[in-house]
Amino acid sequence: MRTQVVIVGGGPAGTLLSQLLDLEGIENIVLELRSRAYVLSRVRAGVLEQGSLDVLRTAGVGERMEREGQFHDGVNLAFAGRMFRVDLKKLADRQVMIYGQTEVQRDLYDARDRREGQIIFEVEDVELHDLDTAFPFVTYRKDGGEERIDCQFVAGCDGSHGVTRASIPADLARTYERGYPFGWVGILSETPPVNEELIYNIHERGFALCTLRSTHLSRYYLQCQLDDDLADWPDDRFWEELARRVPPSVAERLVTGPSIEKLITPLRSSVTEPMRYERLFLAGDAAHTVPPTGAKGLNLAISDVAYLARGLSQFHRTGSMELLDAYSDTALRRVWKAVRFSWWMTNLTHRFEDGGTFRGRMQEAELEYLSTSIAAQTSMAENYAGLPL
């Protein structure tokens, strides 16, 4: 087979890139390790920045999002039994939308189906070859047979454990990492949300997040130990602990019910530089991961793809490599700002057992300042709602 761009990874980043390239007349093939059903079963972030919404609209996948997504003008923080609101619309002139990653993925697959896009699921043993030449190719196994695709470029959208990041020579890549000594246990329940906007709860027992997927679907998270198991968190214990960590006025409104999904997520920050090696370009989790505190993971994947699509489109139209040569530096400037914000939000909202009393007092002082300073809230609003692409 032959195509212009091979995209390794059929999650949101890879499928969105495929759609954007197709709209520009650029041939591409997507290779995905898992089945379509498996990809659609993965539960991830649900907060979309204004810039992400614009990219998805450009890709022609905004119709259902506009109809079913929920715009939020603000976000709430609760500490010491009280709550204050950061007004995103007023302070940053932007909104965010609650629309789950699974729904974004479904819309993207439907869009590729309509345009007869080629996504090959359940591939094995993907390998990249001759990346340092003008004629790279990708091999993989499917149904017991080996296949080869010749191409001009390879886009790595296969996550932090995929083959594309590992294909950059070790002496040319550097990874910066920060692990956090806790995780999140989260549940999804068919219950009305406790609040119409997100609440970040800071408590001496640990962090709690109240969020939602729709008017009848609620998602809640609790800070937990890294070595916790899902069996440690039966529904009754989860609801009881959540009620302890939110303000009394919020706990009174809490509607509980059986969980329909439950997961434990570790928290870490990781950035690999550069995001490009010759004819290979990394995007999304293949290049970086952030803790979910700042809701930046999916949004960073979308901005990476937007930059990469522009570069590939320029090459397709003019033969110029200018934007592709600048891709890594351009993407990383935005990535590091989002990593900084996610790190700040995580430190602001979580309990660190090794932090001692000094860290706790500094956290209290930061929250007090944030609750009363328009300047501090403006900075948070600008970053939370999303910096310009």
To the query of whether residue 337 is one of the catalytic residues in this protein, the response is: no
Do the beta carbons of residue 167 and residue 280 sit within 8 Å?
Answer: yes
Question: Catalytic: which of 203, 288, 296, 350?
Answer: 296
Do the beta carbons of residue 266 and residue 226 sit within 8 Å?
Answer: yes
To the query of whether residue 12 is one of the catalytic residues in this protein, the response is: no
Question: Catalytic: which of 99, 180, 200, 221?
Answer: 200
To the query of whether residue 292 is one of the catalytic residues in this protein, the response is: yes
Do the beta carbons of residue 270 and residue 277 sit within 8 Å?
Answer: no
Question: Catalytic: which of 136, 277, 292, 327?
Answer: 292
Question: Catalytic: which of 12, 72, 288, 307?
Answer: 72
CA distances from 226 to 179, 230, 257, 289 (A): 11, 11, 25, 17
Q: Which residue has the tokens 């039994």?
A: 81
Give the residue ranges of DSSP H helices in the chain. 12-23, 36-41, 50-58, 63-68, 88-92, 101-114, 163-166, 235-245, 248-251, 297-318, 322-349, 356-372, 374-385
Closest among 145, 143, 150 to 122, alpha carbons compared: 143
Give the span between the Cα atoms of 355 and 163, in whole angstroms: 37
Do the beta carbons of residue 76 and residue 193 sit within 8 Å?
Answer: no
To the query of whether residue 307 is one of the catalytic residues in this protein, the response is: no
To the query of whether residue 296 is one of the catalytic residues in this protein, the response is: yes
Question: Catalytic: which of 99, 109, 220, 384?
Answer: 384
Phi and psi, residue 160, nearest 5° = -70, -20
- Sheet with 288-289, edge to edge strand ranges: 82-87, 74-79, 199-202, 208-212, 218-224, 174-189, 259-273, 288-289
Active site residues: 72, 200, 292, 296, 384
